[in-house]
Amino acid sequence: MKLSRLWQPRRLLFWQWVMFNVLSSVCTWALHTLPLNTVGLLLVGGVALLNVGFGLLAAWLLVRDEPPPSAVQGSGMSGSSASTASTSE
């Protein structure tokens, strides 16, 4: 398992994972700072727990899936093509 596979900013799943984590942080902040009644605590706490679950699922899917070959070749080829283009001129 490679944790470096989490960083895939060109995939929508990566940004969903980031947003789940941000929303979980906002819910945790709200639980600690806002004076909520029992229903509010249950609602915000439930949303926070769902976001943690979905965030873990998204992270697991990002780590499990191989990155697309075009993204790997694209990052490696762009640097080498730029250097060969400048040397050939």
pLDDT value at residue 89 = 47
Find, among 53, 47, 16, the residue nearest to 30 by Cα. Answer: 47
What confidence score (pLDDT) does residue 17 get?
93
pTM of the model: 0.67
Please state, as a whole number, how many other Cβ atoms lie within 10 Å of the Cβ of residue 16: 16
Q: Can you spell out the DSSP letters for 8-60?
A: -TTSHHHHHHHHHHHHHHHHHHHHHHS---HHHHHHHHHHHHHHHHHHHHHHH
Would you write out the chain's pLDDT as a tens digit for each of its 89 residues?
677 788 888 889 999 999 999 999 999 999 999 999 999 999 999 999 999 999 999 999 999 877 666 655 555 544 544 444 555 54
Q: What CA–CA distance (Å, rounded) separates 17 from 41? A: 24
